[in-house]
Amino acid sequence: MAQKSIIIIGAGPAGLAAGCYAQMNGYRTRIFESHFLPGGLCTAWERKGYTFDGCIHYLFGSGEGQPFNRMWQELGAVQGRRMVNHDEYQRITDGDKTLIVYADPDRLEQHMIDLSPADAPLIQALCRGVRQFTRFDMSSLYDQPKSLLGAHGWRRLGMKMMPFVLPLLRWGRLPMKDLALRFKDPFLRRAVVQMFSWEEAPAMMGMSLLAYMHTGNAGFPVGGSLEFARALERRYLSLGGEICYEAQVEKIVTENGRAVGVRLYDDEVHTADYVISAADGRTTIFDMLDGEYVSRKIRKMYDGSLPMHSQVQISLGVKCDLSAEPHWVTHLLDKPVLVIGEERHDVGVKHYCFDPSLAPAGKSVVEIMIRSGYGYWQHLYGRKIYDTEQRQVSDIMIDLLDRWHPGLSSQIEYVDEATPLSYERYTNNWKGATSGWLLSRETMPLLIRGVDKTLPGLRKFYMAGHWVEPGGTVTLAAASGRNVIQLICHEEGQPFEAYLPTGETVAV
């Protein structure tokens, strides 16, 4: 039988993973990627000897033998790679008191009770939840595409989920900002909102992150995000896959309700038996396919009402060694500062000295991330004021940094700014979203139920990546790439196979 072919749009984690698993299962694949690099949002950029990381703070599946690790082994991404496991997620301080968000629930519990004995029952419940989530195998939600589970599969999944139903119900729909309000202590009421970086994050998300950090399954891959993506690219190429860089897909070509190929911006047409889009969801559905294959549900998903997250990242190359400082501190401001048109009450500062490969010896990379909407920057784009505004944001941040680290501003050798428009320009993600749909009370049910990876009325076409895996992350994007190949194998009536670079096989 002739070997079937698959075209994949996008060489982010989802596209590369789909490519690897397709090659493992005997398909001939070609990835078209608009950038000249692999990785999509899983990236980093080098300036004057500093590597500014743009993505991974934590990688689910980093711990050997733990949930998702087998997938990363199959994708050749973790072998021989040192992982940095932090024992604290971050610190939050008002200059007087400091909340240390320990990954270890016992330490966290004791520390928080020391800060506020009056909140002991709530703190104990929170930390009990973290302990419970250490046993939560999130990967079982992605072992098989949900549409292939059948009654037996759902029952089996239900049994696995059973011990977590109560904690999921209790913490899964509770945003951090609401949890914070339940604290009696005024400092904790402010600090807990920032505990997991955005206030609408369901408490369960942060608790499972701490749980995975505690079990050593949410580490930082040394070398950073682009190095990590390059490992995926190497595995894909070694499996015989082909990548065409600087090849932006304009349209998905269809014939009689079937995807048959893609047309690039240079008008070249390429055909295949299947097309997978691992690129931005909105562009795929409404531009590449002209909105011809949509349901009411899909239109609603993309009507702009679901939450997304976009940000400005200020990256600094600093000629001093900050390794003795805690790696991530969020400062609660006594007086708010006006930045990017909004009053800010807190600023998070992170350094990367835990990975010496990212800066020259004795020097440090510092990053500040500020949540920022897309509209603000879009309004300024193309005008001189856009650059002025970027510089103004970094100037304000550098002034603040000098307060917390006197003299640091004089050590800065390089300043780099990225806005939501930069993310959009380099990866084409809608409104510069950093992880597709933001995990929140509204999107949590989509995560549990799963989002369709096909479009109504269109055959031989699949979608992978963070626009079909609410909450995103490199890990779930890759898992969805794996899932669409399972769907294609199912459609072709063949068993799905996955194997390690050493050749060890598992049939799923």
Ligand X SMILES: Cc1cc2nc3c(=O)[nH]c(=O)nc-3n(C[C@H](O)[C@H](O)[C@H](O)COP(=O)(O)OP(=O)(O)OC[C@H]3O[C@@H](n4cnc5c(N)ncnc54)[C@H](O)[C@@H]3O)c2cc1C
* Binding footprint of ligand X on the chain (CB under 6 A): 9-15, 32-35, 40-42, 54-59, 248-249, 278-280, 427-429, 434-435, 465-466, 472-475, 477
CA distance 89 to 76: 27
Nearest approach in angstroms of CB 219 to ligand X is: 11
Q: Which is nearer to ligand X, 56 or 301 (CB)?
A: 56
> Using CA atoms, how far apart are residues 40 and 191, in angstroms rounded to an integer?
32
Residue in the structure block whose two tokens are 């945003």? 175
Residue closer to ligand X, measured from CB, 115 or 329? 329
156 C-beta neighbours (distance < 10 Å), count? 15
Residue with Cβ nearer ligand X (76 or 472): 472
CB of 231 to ligand X, least distance (A): 14
Q: And the tokens for 305?
A: 């009402």
**CB of 126 vs ligand X, minimal distance in Å:** 22
Give me the least distance between CB of 96 and ligand X, in Å please.
Answer: 30
The helix or strand, by DSSP H or E, that contains position 13, with its residue range, turns out to be helix 13-24
Q: What is the closest distance, in whole angstroms, from the C-beta atom of residue 31 to ligand X in the complex?
A: 8
Output 142 or 183, the one with its CB closest to ligand X. 142
Q: What's the rounded Cα separation, in Å, for the pair 360 and 429?
A: 32
3-class state of residue 414 by DSSP:
strand
Which of 309/460 has CB closer to ligand X?
309
- Report CA-CA distances (Å) from 220 to 57, 315, 474: 6, 18, 12
CB of 209 to ligand X, least distance (A): 9
Nearer to ligand X, 77 or 488 (CB): 77
> Considering the complex, what minimum distance in angstroms separates the CB of residue 364 from ligand X?
19
Helices (H), 118-223: 120-133, 150-161, 165-171, 176-181, 186-193, 203-214
Contact 251, 35 (CB under 8 A): no
Tell me which long-range contacts 84-89 makes (C-beta under 8 A, separation of at least 24): 84/219, 84/220, 84/222, 84/354, 84/355, 85/213, 85/216, 85/218, 85/219, 86/213, 86/219, 86/220, 86/327, 86/354, 87/213, 88/326, 89/195, 89/196, 89/209, 89/210, 89/213, 89/328
Minimum distance between the CB of residue 384 and ligand X, rounded to whole angstroms?
A: 27
Give the residue with the Cβ less far from ligand X, 112 or 195. Answer: 195
The H-or-E segment that residue 341 falls in is none
Q: Which of 412, 404, 379, 377 is nearest to 393 (CA)?
A: 377
Between residues 187 and 328, which has the closer beta carbon with respect to ligand X? 328
290: helix, strand or coil: coil
